[in-house]
A and B are shown apart, each in its own frame.
Chain A
Amino acid sequence: MTTPLETHGLTRENLLAIDYFLRLTRTLEERLVALFRQAKVIGGLYRSLGQEGESVAAAYALDYKQGDVVQPLIRNMGSILVAGAKPSDIIKQYMAKGDSPTRGRELNIHFGHPDRDGFIGQISMLGDMIPVMAGITLAGRMQKRNLVGMAFIGDGASSTGAFYEGMNFATVQRLPLVVILENNGYAYSTPTAKQSAVKTLADKAHAFGCASEVVDGNDVLATYAAAKRAVDRARAGEGVTLIEVKTFRIKGHAEHDNQSYVPIQLIEEWSAKDPVVQFEKALVDAGLAATPDFDAIQARVRSEVDTATDEAERSPMPRAEEAALGLFAGDGYWGEG
């Protein structure tokens, strides 16, 4: 007996690719936790446990061959894996290696060039990337490239002035921008209710006049469908969409945070709605995949993460002499003209 599944135009191959990215995200993060505990990760480590589903599903709605650009926040490592980021580069970033994409200058997933890589890392001043993504999509329109931008932002960052300015400007300009507003319950230790008084964060769209939608962020296919609708609208010239994905941060703000401020019932309740488990169950119930498929995907993921870890561990730290280089063009540090 199978349960029919609305796949929103995704083929079985697409669905298994999504599953691969979900498992890759989770396995890679688990590896990073191990490296963190061995003191091989230099800075903080920020888990996306429970949020892999919306990170991967939303980013899967973009067309990177078309030049689309995704901009993750710290809990959206899955989105840049979809865009093509290499696991070895991510591990090297965390380990501050000299041959990491930023050569040891920046942390974690703060890397990527929008034009070259299809993704651009955030800066730590939350909200600032919305105006930047407005500019990326503005340039795409000026260059007649018909590309779409997708920006992730958290419930906490939706309180910033930069978020407001960027959303307002992008909407006025009808820019092809999709904003995924992740409501994961907490901004560090501050619950959403102390962050915003709106009934639901998607209501903030009324302040801009853009389209909006609310979706269950732990439902991979529903998130994909909402993102795809927004991407299609953006590409058709219909402007900005704000999608609130309702999800939950299962781990603390970072590995050092035991999140004693989060009621245990909430964690239990949301853990039971694990996006990867739910997605795979839906595929099984629909007869689209079975345990051996997932085992094969997991074996591939494990092997890729092992290889990436080996490569990152072998990589050198940056040379101290490099600290003064690469501030301006002209010293050739980044290999520019």
Chain B
Amino acid sequence: MPVTTYLDAIREAMIEEMRRDPRVFLIGEDVGSYGGAFKTSAGMIDEFGPGRVIDTPISEVAIVGAASGAALMGMRPIAEMQFIDFITCAYDMLVNFTATSRYRVGSSCPIVVRGPAGGGTHGGPFHSLNPEAMFMNRPGIKIVAPGTAYDAKGLLKAAIRDDDPVLFIEHKFLYRRIKEDLPTEDYVVPIGKANIRRTGKDITIITWGAMIYVADDAAADLANDGVSAEVIDLRSIIPFDEEAILNSVAKTNRVIILHEAPLTGGAGAEFAARIAEKAFDYLDAPIKRVAALDVPTPYSPPLEAAALPDKARVLAAARELLRY
């Protein structure tokens, strides 16, 4: 029986890194005695004390700013956003101060900003954000979005050990739904490496975060129809594994990019452009994107389900591409 949830994997990564490295600390709202809004940091204050598990006022600018100042002084802060939506309050600090620090003045500013993202939990317009595209066009911050417990733990450790700022996008829908057996020994998942979840030869589905399970389900259905789909879990958005994408497209000649954020200006647009630029000759059909509607994520279940991408839309896209 698998025991470690996606949520526990994140907590274990933080605890193990804080035991390993005294420079690592956690700062955010309600992360101390309360253990975080999702209990991600439950019990951590008992082991590490209020000096390393720091409760803050409701001040995202102060959280990211203070983490950044401490990072310049050699610390390794983990800044928690109670919901990743609230990083927009500290967008200025993160993209203007933190992300530019090394390029502008040569100062390493290694913070991790992490927090629960994504929809499917009826959180409404302000508790469902998928923020990756907002940061892709602001150079200087790495972006990762794990979909498995294994990757959540390994990527968070890699992010904490990284010498540059990392936005760590956790999918809250997965927190307690995903359970896996994880290695007992220390490991990291390298930032920038995709994972081929399923190999196939007829069509490629490029995705990340909670959408990997939608892609899995769609690929299983396609297999029943005799179509062999390859599922790439990108895991890292910046930097992204261009080689894995291009190799797969060269093999399958058909590609769907699936993401939970809205379609227009989404991360998929960049990946599609890259494929068009570098693998045009391999394509037998247009590049197809399956993404959320271009609306804020609505609250009511029928509206939310209609706004977010699902298996049916992936299958419809696949069948359209297979007609070419």
Contact = CB atoms under 8 A, between A and B. Distances in A.
A142 B66 CA distance: 13
Interface residues of B, number: 41
B73 A125 contact: no
A172 B59 CA distance: 12
Contacts of A128: 61, 65, 92-93, 96-97
Contacts of B150: none
A106 B59 CA distance: 28
Contacts of A137: 69
Given A105-B105, A326-B103, A334-B106, A134 B66 contact: yes
B301 interface: no
Contact of A168 (B59, B67, B74, B107): B59
Nearest to B79: A135
B72 A327 contact: no
Contact of B96 (A111, A123, A135, A330): A123
B233 interface: no
Interface in B41-65: 51-52, 54, 56-57, 59-62, 64-65
A101 to B, nearest CB: 7
Interface residues of A, number: 46
A131 B64 CA distance: 8
Interface in A195-243: none
A335 to B, nearest CB: 8
Contact of B104 (A105, A132, A337): A105
A161 B104 CA distance: 24
Nearest to B165: A328
B311 interface: no
Contacts of B115: none
Contacts of A125: 92-93, 96-97
Given A142-B51, A142-B75, A112 B105 contact: yes
B66 A113 contact: no
A115 B93 contact: no
B69 A113 contact: no
Nearest to B98: A132
Given A105-B104, A106-B105, A114 B73 contact: yes
Interface of A: 101-103, 105-106, 110-115, 120-121, 123-125, 128, 130-140, 142-143, 161-162, 165-166, 168-169, 172-173, 326-330, 334, 336-337
Shortest 9 CB-CB distances between A and B: which pairs? A135-B69, A131-B65, A135-B66, A139-B73, A329-B163, A169-B62, A139-B70, A165-B59, A165-B62
